[in-house]
Structure formats: structure tokens, C-alpha cells
């Protein structure tokens, strides 16, 4: 039986090139087509020497494939994905164009009217730890954003088990690769090096995605979520720290409660191949190059608050690795195929 032919639309962005890196080592598919407008006509190995072994040329249009990853920028992806779906090709979309269920949110948060609101109802949110069975049967999966991945996985056990009040604060710090490969002043080396800054304090575009998914974990609660992202002078990684008051009558704000919390998180993620609950706060370097999310829950015994820290590689579990995890499920392959490599160290 021949292996599925897989294509990447827009291989020249950070998510696209990370997809290519991981897919060239995938044993059960064949990467046959990679596109990129600015680099069309060049060998993939000329643009990215570490991928010379793939033996592919970058083309303007995708060849015949059985499965596609759309790694286009937001707004540009929606129309192309619709064409692929109409052609019977299964798709994982890495942009935000199919993540939000409510089409009315797109003008407010992404600055465009969604051209295919009917497809929003068909798209499955691609967080396997929450929607594994739906992903298996999907033809279109909306790959989660990097910030939402770390935040949702950090808070899901506490919300689903009713441990916390609906007042949630999420503080996330990301490496500069999260801003994409397009040149900009804020990621220019002299501007970003030896500097840390908060941004999008009036509302980051990932906030409605985070709120949408957290609300599904606790539909009866009127969640109030504050989300503040920060830019850190490193290439990869997101460290998220989430805070929320404990609900009265739930887990006790004492040393015994802290141990119960760890055990609850471990049971919640028992059997999940890419989520690990750690005894100590994780470092972003502990996830570099891997598809793992490391989570450390604890209690602030003085204030009665939950504190949860999560770490991911924003280009792997936050983008390309999670996309491949979704592809594996959609193609009926073992979920961890091609994603078993541990983090790089140091």
C-alpha cells in the first residue's frame, strides 16, 4: 500500500519549514510537494540547507496530494483551504482562519469578514487532548494557536473539575519566532535582545480562542479571562503562568491540597503521550524541539490561588508538531508517529 502524499502550502514560514523538518523523518507518509511564492523555482535545500536531503523543489502551486498543511498567514488561508476541501483533500490549517466558531469575531480580532462561515461549523479544533475522536473523523482541522495550546492545557483539569473561580489571569512569555519570519522592527536583533516587553494589553487575537475553549470546559461559568503576552529574547518556547482563585469547598489551600492537585492533574493527563505533569516548574528549554507540553500545578497557600505553569516549544507543540499529531489521527496512524524525539539539550 502506498504512503499518503503530503503537501505543505507556504513552506518558507517558520511553521512551514518546521513541518518540513519533521515530515522528512515521518515513516508513514511521503512529503511530495512544498510551495512558497517568494522562493518558487528554488530547491528546498538551497533555501533551507538543513532540508537538502528532502530532494524537493519549492513550487508556486501544490502538486497532487492526499493531505495538505496550510501554513499561510491569517486571512490568506481561508479561501485556499476551502478549495482543498472541495477537492476532497484533508487539511490541517495552521492559521487562525478556522479556529473561532463565531464568524462575527473575525472582523473584530483579525480584520476581515470570513469568506466561508459554513466551513467553521465543519472545522474541528485541533487539540488532541480535548477532541481526539472528533479529529479522527475530520476533513478539516484548525490547528490551535501557540499561546492557547499552553494556556488551555494548563487550565483544563482545574476548570473541568470545578476547582477554580471564573476569574483567570494568563501570563505568557514567547520567543521571537512566534512573531513569524517576516522582518519587523520589534523582532530586529538590537530591539529584541536583552529586552522583555508586554504587548497587546488591550486584547491579543488569541484571547477569543482561549476564552472559547476554556468556556467549553465549564459552560455554566461566566469566565473573565485576562491574557497578557510578553516577548522574550530567545528563539523558541512559550512559558505560561496561569492564576485563578480556588472555589470554596473544593481543594484545600494547604500542603495536602497541593499534593492532591498534582495527583488530579496526573490522572487527568494519564495516557496522554505529549503532556507531562512535572514535580518542578518546567523550563522552556525542557521542550525545545519536542512535541511535549510540560505542566506544573501548585497552590499559593497564602492567598488561596491556583498557579499553573506550562512550557511548550511554540514551533512544535504550538504549531508544526501538533499539526502532525492531528494528521496522524486523521489518517488513522499511531498518534505519536514521527514525533517521538525528546527535547534537545542543552
Per-10-residue mean pLDDT, the chain, length 346? 94 97 97 95 97 96 97 95 97 98 97 96 97 98 98 98 97 96 90 95 97 95 96 97 96 95 98 98 98 98 97 98 98 98 93
Q: How far apart are CA 139 and CA 239, in angstroms?
A: 31
DSSP class of residue 233 equals S
The answer to whether 312 and 238 are in contact (CB under 8 A) is yes
DSSP E strands in 120-257: the ranges are 124-125, 140-142, 167-174, 197-198, 224-231, 238-245
Domain 147-314 belongs to what topology?
A: Dihydrodipicolinate Reductase; domain 2 (3.30.360)
**Is it true that 5-144+318-330 and 147-314 share their CATH fold?**
no
Query: Quick one: pLDDT at residue 182?
Result: 87
* Marked catalytic residue, from 72, 140, 146, 316: 146
Is 293 among the residues known to form the active site?
no
Task: Count CB atoms within 10 A of the CB of residue 121.
Answer: 8
> H helices of the chain, where?
14-23, 44-47, 77-86, 105-110, 117-120, 128-136, 146-160, 189-192, 207-217, 255-268, 321-330
Q: Which of 333, 331, 317, 334 is nearest to 22 (CA)?
A: 317
CA 274, 294, 223, 248 dihedral sign is: positive
Q: Where are the domains of the chain?
A: 5-144+318-330, 147-314
What is the number of H-type helices and E-type strands within the chain?
11, 14
Output the pLDDT for position 195.
Answer: 95
What's the CATH number of domain 5-144+318-330, 3.40.50.720, 3.20.20.70, 3.30.465.10, 3.40.720.10? 3.40.50.720
Q: Are 315 and 343 within 8 A, CB to CB?
A: no
Provide the 3-class DSSP secondary structure of residue 23: helix
Give which of 318, 293, 333, 330 is closest to 92, Cα–Cα: 330
Amino acid at each position: 500500500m502506498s504512503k499518503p502524499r503530503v503537501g505543505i502550502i507556504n513552506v518558507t514560514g517558520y511553521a512551514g519549514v518546521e513541518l518540513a523538518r519533521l515530515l522528512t523523518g515521518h515513516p508513514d507518509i511521503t512529503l511530495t510537494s512544498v510551495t512558497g511564492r517568494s522562493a518558487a523555482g528554488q530547491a528546498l535545500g538551497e533555501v533551507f540547507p538543513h532540508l537538502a536531503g528532502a530532494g524537493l523543489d519549492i513550487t508556486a502551486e501544490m502538486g497532487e496530494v492526499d493531505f495538505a498543511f496550510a501554513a499561510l498567514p491569517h486571512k490568506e488561508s481561508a479561501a485556499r483551504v476551502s478549495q482543498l476541501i472541495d477537492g476532497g483533500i484533508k487539511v490541517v490549517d495552521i492559521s487562525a482562519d478556522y479556529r473561532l466558531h463565531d464568524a462575527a469575531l473575525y472582523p473584530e480580532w483579525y480584520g476581515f469578514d470570513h469568506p466561508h462561515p459554513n466551513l467553521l461549523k465543519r472545522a474541528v479544533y485541533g487539540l488532541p487532548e480535548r477532541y481526539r475522536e472528533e479529529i479522527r473523523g475530520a476533513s478539516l482541522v484548525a490547528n490551535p494557536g501557540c499561546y492557547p495550546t499552553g494556556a488551555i492545557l494548563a487550565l483544563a483539569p482545574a476548570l473541568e473539575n470545578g476547582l477554580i473561580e471564573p476569574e483567570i489571569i494568563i501570563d505568557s512569555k514567547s520567543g521571537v519566532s512566534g512573531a513569524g519570519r517576516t522582518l519587523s522592527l520589534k523582532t530586529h536583533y538590537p530591539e529584541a535582545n536583552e529586552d522583555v516587553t508586554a504587548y497587546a494589553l488591550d486584547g491579543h487575537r488569541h484571547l477569543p480562542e482561549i476564552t472559547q475553549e476554556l468556556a467549553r470546559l465549564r459552560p455554566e461559568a461566566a469566565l473573565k479571562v485576562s491574557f497578557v503576552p510578553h516577548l522574550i529574547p530567545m528563539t523558541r518556547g512559550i512559558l505560561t503562568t496561569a492564576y485563578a482563585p480556588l472555589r470554596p469547598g473544593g481543594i484545600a489551600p494547604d500542603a495536602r491540597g497541593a499534593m492532591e492537585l498534582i495527583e488530579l492533574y496526573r490522572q487527568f493527563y494519564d495516557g496522554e503521550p505529549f503532556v507531562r505533569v512535572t514535580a518542578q516548574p518546567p523550563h522552556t528549554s525542557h521542550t525545545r524541539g519536542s512535541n511535549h507540553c510540560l505542566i506544573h500545578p501548585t497552590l499559593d497557600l497564602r492567598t488561596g490561588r491556583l498557579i499553573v505553569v506550562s512550557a511548550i516549544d511554540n514551533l512544535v507543540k504550538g504549531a508544526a508538531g501538533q499539526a502532525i499529531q492531528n494528521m496522524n489521527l486523521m489518517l488513522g496512524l499511531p498518534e505519536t508517529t514521527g514525533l517521538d524525539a525528546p527535547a534537545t539539550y542543552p
